[in-house]
Amino acid sequence: MHWPRRTPLVLLAAGVLCVCISAAALTTSDPRWWLSCFSRLGAMQDGSSALFNGGMMLAGAVIALSAWPVRRGLKAASAAGLPANSAVSVVIPLLIVGLGVSLTLVGVLPLSFNVFAHERAANGALASSAGLLLMQRLHLRGLSRTLDRLSLGAIVVLVMGMTALIAGLITLTVFEALAFGSVIAWLQTLQSRVEHLRPVASRPFSANSQHLILSPIWGTR
């Protein structure tokens, strides 16, 4: 009997975000919300805000849960001799949890409730994303060419996007979409890649596996 393939948690979180943000954007009372930021959708204190904030909380919780399969995969990668040491298998899942918790807090603490707390939660999501990309470049290079390319692309998007935002060339909404989209694409690829890793089983010791090497008693020159 073949069970249906399980949907990756990061992909599920991305789907939740897309649906809830789209529904909130279509029903919001502020048609010019996109000139500010996505969080504007959650500050109207109406049904559209409930959709946005609820979606952020649910997606954040799912992303935080994705840290568990990633941790198992990274531990398997370390056991298989791939570039993922024991510290990486702890730090990266913690950063994923930090990203998920930050997104959840964005929904729990909307702009209409407390601007300072909301902005700190958003900053936490950005910092966690930057930390994940940095860990990839420092400790996971070579694990997957696709991961390497996506992490480099995400870093370019973050740097160029921030520069364009400061220069007033794009709005915060555009920056958030580009930055978060690139990080989610990388995180989804990471989860898919490490879930297929398995520790290398050590060969059992037997008499037939022994190799006796004798050196001549008179030595060598």
List pLDDT tens digits, range 169-216.
999 999 999 999 999 999 999 988 887 665 544 444 444 444 434 444
Asked whether residue 201 is domain-assigned, the answer is no
Q: Is residue 37 part of a domain?
A: yes
Q: Is residue 207 part of a domain?
A: no
Is position 48 within any domain?
Answer: yes
Cα 142 to Cα 47, 84, 137, 148: the distances in Å are: 46, 10, 9, 7
> How far from 40 is each of 3, 101, 102, 107, 116, CA to CA, in Å?
41, 20, 17, 11, 14
Domain count, the chain: 1
Rounded distance between C-alpha atoms, residue 185 and residue 214, angstroms? 56
Whether 95 is covered by a domain: the verdict is yes
Classify residue 82: in a domain, yes or no.
yes
pLDDT tens digit sequence for 4-38: 456 789 999 999 999 999 999 999 999 899 988 99
Range of the domain at 124: 9-196
Residue 109 lies in a domain: yes
Provide the 3-class DSSP secondary structure of residue 6: coil
Whether the model clears a pTM of 0.75, i.e. scores above it, the answer is yes
